[in-house]
Amino acid sequence: MKIGFIGLGNMGAPMAANLAKSHEVTGFDTVAAPEGIALAQSAADAARDADVVITMLPNGDILRQVAAEIHPAMKSGAIHLDCSTVDVESARAVAAQAQGNGLSAIDAPVSGGIGGATNGTLTFMAGGPADAFATVQPLFDIMGQKAVHCGPAGNGQAAKICNNMILGVTMIATCEAFVLADKLGLDRQAMFDVVSTSSGYSWSMNAYCPAPGIGPQSPADNDYQPGFASELMLKDLRLSQMAAEAADADTPMGQAATALYQQFVEEEDGKGRDFSAMLPRFESRHRGS
């Protein structure tokens, strides 16, 4: 399969490298120039004659700009596979634009971070036509371990932001609970042993525990160097609240989590730290502070 890959940053470069082991990949990025991937002079050049064009971009505005450039250059019947995490409205607008140009579009944001991109173990949440999803399934199999077809255009983004809203809320609750346990004199290991096998268990507790030295290895054991940076969590939470406003959905916990991560990233020391660094944040605070 001939593939164009636009956006060769921390996530895109290893994804493209994995694809290049078994497919013809031509990449483009305005800044990065990773080794081992053939590079084009422009996004349109990378897209020209490709069977599938993959984009991995920072936000919806940039996605719309790139789509406007590449869709006229893509051959009829080709597929635009967008793996960025963007707002649902942008994903659906780009899909409609693709259809107007005789193309198919799949929005398939990912979960798994840089490690998952490097190791080919990402999870993809995909929205778009079922036949296009089936066509790109072999690419998902190379880049990841699971791909779920969530329905029509935009539903991949919807699944991603709903999932990460839960993740942001549960991480905050987990960090709060550890600090409360500390202040009540409950040993952290005992806390973990109880909660991880009781009704309070969650991915935030069991697989990504924010307390150093407790549970499986996590960023907490590496001074909170980011596996998933707090500013990326803030981005996804903001997307969830944009979607909630557009859909008239009441999401008070998502709204509260967004406000807390905004404060952590923009007013405190959260930027550049893992999103689980909420635990030392709460350790240094008191009720009402």
pLDDT tops 80 at residue 201: yes
The model's pLDDT over 65-116, given as tens digits with 9 standing for 90+, comes to: 999 999 999 999 999 999 999 999 999 999 999 999 999 999 999 998 888 9
Q: Is residue 105 part of a domain?
A: yes
Query: Which residues belong to the active site?
Result: 160
Measured between alpha carbons, how far is 28 from 101 in angstroms, rounded to an integer?
21
170 plus 227 within the same structural domain: yes
| Per-residue pLDDT band at 289 (split at 50, 70, 90) | confident
Which CATH number do you get for residue 204? 1.10.1040.10
pLDDT band at 35 (very low <50, low <70, confident <90, very high): confident
- Residues 124 and 203 reside in one and the same domain: no
Report how many domains make up the chain.
2
User: Do 143 and 166 share a domain, yes or no?
Assistant: no
Residue carrying structure tokens 């990912």: 110
Query: Measured between alpha carbons, how far is 151 from 210 in angstroms, rounded to an integer?
Result: 34
**pTM (2 decimals)?**
0.91
- CA pair distance 206, 216, nearest whole angstrom: 8
CA nearest to 51, candidates 71, 73, 80, 28: 80
**Do 127 and 14 belong to one domain?**
yes
My answer on whether 198 and 256 are in the same domain is yes
Could you list the residue range(s) of the whole structural domain that residue 216 is in? 158-284
Predicted confidence band at 286 (pLDDT cuts at 50, 70, 90)?
confident
Q: Which of 165, 192, 134 is nearest to 261 (CA)?
A: 165
Please state, rounded to an integer, the average pLDDT across all residues of the chain.
96
- Of 111, 133, 114, the C-alpha closest to 122 is 111
102 SS3 class: coil
The pLDDT score that the predictor gives to residue 193 is: 98
Residues 259, 173, single domain; the answer is: yes
| 149/163 same-domain check | no
Of 153, 169, 191, the residue that ends a domain is 153
Whether residues 192 and 140 share a domain: the answer is no
What's the CATH code of the domain at 42? 3.40.50.720
Name the phi and psi angles at 60, rounded to 5.
-65, -35
Q: Is residue 289 part of a domain?
A: no
Give yes or no: residues 99 and 170 share one domain: no
Q: Where are the beta strands (DSSP E) in the chain?
A: 2-6, 24-28, 38-39, 52-55, 79-82, 104-107, 110-111, 122-126, 144-149
In this structure, the answer to whether residues 62 and 125 fall within a common structural domain is: yes
Please check the confidence at residue 271 and state whether its pLDDT lies above 90.
Answer: yes
Give the pLDDT mean for 50-67: 97
Instruction: Report the percent of the chain where pLDDT is more than 70.
Output: 100
Full 3-state SS string of 110-147:
EECHHHHHHHCCEEEEEECCHHHHHHHHHHHHHHEEEE
Lowest-pLDDT choice from 29-43, 95-109, 183-197: 29-43
Distance CA 62, CA 59 (A): 6
pLDDT tier at 273 (50, 70, 90 boundaries)?
very high
Check whether 28 has a pLDDT greater than 90. Answer: yes
CA distance readout (Å), 81 to 95, 108, 196: 10, 7, 37
Do 166 and 148 lie in one domain? The reply is no
Confidence of residue 287 (pLDDT cuts 50, 70, 90): confident
Q: Name 66's Cβ contacts closer than 8 Å, sequence gap at least 6.
A: 6, 43, 55, 57
Domain boundary (115, 133, 153) is at 153
Q: How far is CA 173 from the centre of its chain?
A: 21
Residue where one domain finishes, among candidates 90, 119, 153: 153
288, pLDDT greater than 80 = no
In this structure, is residue 270 part of a structural domain? yes
The answer to whether residue 26 scores a pLDDT higher than 80 is: yes
Task: Write the pLDDT tens digit of every residue in 4-14.
Answer: 999 999 999 99
pLDDT band at 27 (very low <50, low <70, confident <90, very high): very high
With cut-offs at 50, 70 and 90, classify the pLDDT of residue 36: confident
95 in a structural domain: yes
pLDDT tens profile 108-161: 999 988 889 999 999 999 999 999 999 999 999 999 999 999 999 999 999 999
Residues 138 and 31 in one domain: yes
Q: What is the pLDDT of residue 86?
A: 96
